[in-house]
Amino acid sequence: MVHWLTKINDKNIFNVDWILGACLFIRADIFKEINGFDKDYFMFFEEVDLCKRVSNKNYKIIYLPKLSIHHIGSVSGKKNYTLYTIRTYTSKFLFVSKNYISINKVIMKILLYLQIFSQIVIWSILFLVNPNKSKQKINAFVQLLKNGFKNNAF
Residue range 130-154: mean pLDDT, rounded:
84
Whole-number pLDDT of residue 111 = 96
Residue range 51-58: mean pLDDT, rounded:
94
Whole-number pLDDT of residue 139 = 95
pLDDT band for position 44 (cuts 50, 70, 90): confident
Whole-number pLDDT of residue 9 = 59
3-state SS assignment for residue 139: helix
pLDDT higher than 90, residue 78: no
Q: Give the residue from 133, 136, 149, 146 showing the smallest Cα distance to 41.
A: 149
User: Would the pTM count as exceeding 0.85?
Assistant: no
Buried b (16+ CB within 10 A) or exposed e, 103-140: eeeeebbeebeeebeebbeebeeeeeeeeeebebbbeb
Lowest-confidence region among 14-28, 97-111, 133-147: 14-28
Whole-number pLDDT of residue 7 = 54
